[in-house]
Structure 1
């Protein structure tokens, strides 16, 4: 599959006019993926921005009437340490700087763009109390094709603190923007809502940007204006992103002037984990739909029994996923609901064929559950404290604890392993002449030829990688901040595991597809089904003893097309 997770955001010039309207309440996984890939640009619904403006003004009123966590106080174990009113803005700057301690490799642009889209939409849901200029800057970055440099490690499923702190410092001009695509287009004008001093005057100067980037690399953390570092300069600067290429096009989001309360309001989210989970769910959905076609071809290749796919069987145990899996195989092979007129070679087949609906159905259900959780989380406020819609109060709560997301990801990973194991089992069956009546390993030429033998090794190697991704991340434990935060969901770790798992499953499924197509080609009368026609046109002919890497590459690239058959 063409994920390009370590390459540039995929921008299609033909689709640059495609817009995703951010309302704060209706963002889908598909729309989020389009924004991450650069296949669409964001637009902000006026009513959503007005909601964010009301939340900002409400937070200012509430803060004036009493201390709010993170604005009039420190954070974490310092929750009871008071912050003086005239120090609140400087406190926010110190908060961003101190929390921007991400570690590990830089994340691919696609994942960071997904995070930006999630955070913008969440802020438009209202409840954060942040100034709307941050929404403008986040959406502007998506439109311009630039993103902050964000390191992999730092979140534990209770807020992506380091990733969002690095983002915050970029938004206010202390860290440079990064671009891996072509020169960005001109910025779209912002609405004039009368917000005072919400953004720095004018567009940023390219030379000023270069000076800021160079200063940060040298350890001068005074910011682009060269002002005094009110947060202190102790410790080494974060230079882990120095190999990233900063944008020098001169077209960048204007730096936001940080105000009291903005810092924690920006940080209080699992936007990165949600963005990664959305991308993983989209890829998983494609693979699971492609699996119907691959499994159907394998069933035809071994002359398997269709009785296991009959609608009456699944009506008695009405799991949605199982019924869908069975129905898709029937549809793809042109079998009626009662599986009549389609006798198999055996009374019953191995589990890879006979139990496919039950096992694959669990993966379909888990994928759908993951989509539902992601779409709830990206369309609601999670900030702590949470400003109510009517602006009357602010609640301190634990809505940022990403237990639903972490558990949904873990369940998807485990379910994917089960269906991947059946794919590997079907691959073995396709090479067994006792089941197919064809030459062993579908080999052409002398009897000693190996044919597709090596595909079992490649598939099981990828399967081992997938299996390593299924240790539940939600079983992890952490006690942090002097014991105040004594649990974590580790949703971000689970999301990264799902991304790796989908990569591995792509290989497993591609191995099965190559073998299934070759087995059907060896049949006297290959099936006249759309999936086979598409596959045989895309895959190289023959299994004479030769490297099959090109076959697997072609099969992997074909999977998204088979998902649409």
Structure 2
């Protein structure tokens, strides 16, 4: 079903559906606001007032007045000069979300583009035609200039499209899409490339991917507790309620729910073990803190998704245009760095649990979870891979948002580096999915050593899905494909779905 978008009431749930590819278009009220803002630009131009970006140059050239007969040329040159990105293309689903977010921002009616621009962007969504946008080149102020310029340049006939997976030159793709090359009117170029839509799309991609990784890590953590014959007492709700942190309370409840009904758990209720390693018993505290960070980041990004972030901002009621700084992506940069730190810790905790399970001194299980050790290395090297991914994540988790390099001859003397933060966060999420995949393999193997005792019904379902991708092992075999399949399952939200959510 097509999502009818009201940018003033956008929700995280709707953004999640849009990230997953749900069709969407602006509502009628938004289109009316767009029409009114475009009319305001016409009146400003006709009145002859000097307004930044409408009839002036950009950045340090803001004081250069542009003659009326060169205003269209000004907007065209703006797009071409800013189409200066490098690097691998952004993923198609991120580009699609960028377009949706740009429609949301324009739909607030304070940017001044014509409805035909909205229609052109909508056509790209409907035809699954994604501009090829280089991933590098934005510093997150004045907006995501280069990525957004590449998005619009494609509509003008420059650059490339990815049409349902086929790369086509933009000049050849437009006729296929039933579009003429876009001719920009005053203010439109600036409205289209000023904004935080690339950074926000990338950060939302990291967030929603991380949400799936987080849910799988909760499932893996609960399964590891059973594989260790660990204690469920640390998940007693009374402990978490005394601290009061909402994430901790939610995680403790989720793990308790997953363990409920486990025969393995009840078999050792009266055992002498008092405390498990921190990576097991402190899951509510560590994962809960990560959940709180992800929740706060989600709030920031939901607000940003429906925000007006270009410059100048129009107020059609009195035909005023005010230059400000809503294009500065610092909120997104902080949110992305927070996502990165939270997911880094999710992976770190998961790897430590795997390390415990493969260590016979810690777990009481066979070394590296193989009966015939020595001849067989078992899960020795998958744990090494997990350690490598965790170390990589630690280097990626250093915040990008604390950096700034002046641009535009010092006019733009503080920038956010939000897209860099968001791209790093997405990579951390993918790495953490690999770490959790290894733990799932180890925990599934560990549980089987306690047969005929059964784990809980909830964990049995997860165990069954693991075994579809990674069968029980009795001797060494080629691991990489199974690990990759489980990592993909984690990223697809197939493991632990519904156990916990933002």
The reply to whether residue 117 of structure 1 matches residue 100 of structure 2 is yes
Correspondences of 1:242-257 after superposition (within 5 Å): 247=173, 250-257=176-183
Q: Which has the higher mean CA deviation after the structures are superposed, 544-553 or 424-433?
A: 544-553
Q: Which has the higher mean CA deviation after the structures are superposed, 461-470 or 388-397?
A: 388-397
Contact between 2:78 and 2:189, CA under 8 Å: does it hold in 1?
A: yes
Q: Which residue of 2 aligns with 1:323?
A: 249
- Using structure 1 for the length normalisation, give the TM-score: 0.81
Q: 1:472 aligns with which of 381, 393, 399?
A: 399
Q: 1:166 aligns with which of 129, 150, 156?
A: 150
Deviation of 1:330 (Å):
0.5
Deviation of 1:27 (Å):
3.6
Q: Which residue of 1 aligns with 2:36?
A: 54
The C-alpha deviation readout for 1:495-527, integer Å capped at 9, x for no partner, is 100111011001100011100000001113131
Q: Which residue of 2 aligns with 1:301?
A: 227
Q: Which residue of 2 aligns with 1:268?
A: 194
Q: 1:145 aligns with which of 116, 119, 128?
A: 128
Deviation of 1:392 (Å):
4.4
For residues 335 and 364 of structure 1, the distance between their equivalents in structure 2, rounded to whole angstroms, comes to: 26
Q: In structure 2, do the counterparts of structure 1 residues 433 and 543 end up closer, same or farther at CA, with 3 Å as the change threshold? A: same
SS across alignment from 1:25:
helix
- Flag structure 2 segments of 5+ consecutive residues without an equivalent: none
Q: Which residue of 2 aligns with 1:21?
A: 4
Correspondences of 1:530-541 after superposition (within 5 Å): 530-536=458-464, 537-538=467-468, 539-541=470-472
The C-alpha deviation readout for 1:280-330, integer Å capped at 9, x for no partner, is 111111111121111000011111122211111111111111111111000
Q: Which residue of 2 aligns with 1:528?
A: 456
Q: Which has the higher mean CA deviation after the structures are superposed, 161-170 or 67-76?
A: 161-170
For residues 462 and 163 of structure 1, the distance between their equivalents in structure 2, rounded to whole angstroms, comes to: 29
The C-alpha deviation readout for 1:3-59, integer Å capped at 9, x for no partner, is xxxxxxxxxxxxxxx21212222344554454455x422222111111111111123
Q: Which residue of 2 aligns with 1:195?
A: none
Deviation of 1:398 (Å):
0.7
For residues 103 and 412 of structure 1, the distance between their equivalents in structure 2, rounded to whole angstroms, comes to: 25
Q: Which residue of 2 aligns with 1:206?
A: none
For residues 8 and 271 of structure 2, the distance between their equivalents in structure 1, rounded to whole angstroms, comes to: 50
Q: Which residue of 2 aligns with 1:508?
A: 435
- Using structure 2 for the length normalisation, give the TM-score: 0.91
Q: In structure 2, do the counterparts of structure 1 residues 304 and 391 end up closer, same or farther at CA, with 3 Å as the change threshold? A: farther
Deviation of 1:63 (Å):
4.0
Contact between 2:203 and 2:335, CA under 8 Å: does it hold in 1?
A: no
SS across alignment from 1:147:
strand
For residues 442 and 247 of structure 1, the distance between their equivalents in structure 2, rounded to whole angstroms, comes to: 55
Contact between 2:155 and 2:174, CA under 8 Å: does it hold in 1?
A: no
Deviation of 1:249 (Å):
7.8
Q: In structure 2, do the counterparts of structure 1 residues 275 and 293 end up closer, same or farther at CA, with 3 Å as the change threshold? A: same
SS across alignment from 2:56:
coil
Q: Which has the higher mean CA deviation after the structures are superposed, 294-303 or 547-556?
A: 547-556
SS across alignment from 2:77:
helix
Correspondences of 1:13-412 after superposition (within 5 Å): 18-32=1-15, 34-37=17-20, 39-65=21-47, 66-158=49-141, 159-181=143-165, 213=171, 247=173, 250-334=176-260, 342=269, 346-388=273-315, 390-412=317-339
How many residues were matched structurally?
Answer: 487
Deviation of 1:174 (Å):
3.9
Q: 2:445 aligns with which of 502, 515, 518?
A: 518
Higher helix share: 2
Q: Which residue of 1 aligns with 2:487?
A: 556
SS across alignment from 1:73:
coil
Q: In structure 2, do the counterparts of structure 1 residues 370 and 141 end up closer, same or farther at CA, with 3 Å as the change threshold? A: same
Contact between 1:36 and 1:117, CA under 8 Å: does it hold in 2?
A: no
Q: In structure 2, do the counterparts of structure 1 residues 45 and 254 end up closer, same or farther at CA, with 3 Å as the change threshold? A: farther
For residues 388 and 131 of structure 1, the distance between their equivalents in structure 2, rounded to whole angstroms, comes to: 15
Deviation of 1:156 (Å):
0.4
The C-alpha deviation readout for 1:349-404, integer Å capped at 9, x for no partner, is 11101211111112211211222111111102111111136344222111111111
SS across alignment from 1:177:
strand
Contact between 1:294 and 1:512, CA under 8 Å: does it hold in 2?
A: yes
Q: Which residue of 2 aligns with 1:545?
A: 476
Deviation of 1:250 (Å):
2.0
Contact between 1:92 and 1:263, CA under 8 Å: does it hold in 2?
A: yes
For residues 319 and 133 of structure 1, the distance between their equivalents in structure 2, rounded to whole angstroms, comes to: 49
Contact between 2:237 and 2:252, CA under 8 Å: does it hold in 1?
A: yes
For residues 107 and 169 of structure 1, the distance between their equivalents in structure 2, rounded to whole angstroms, comes to: 15
For residues 429 and 391 of structure 1, the distance between their equivalents in structure 2, rounded to whole angstroms, comes to: 67
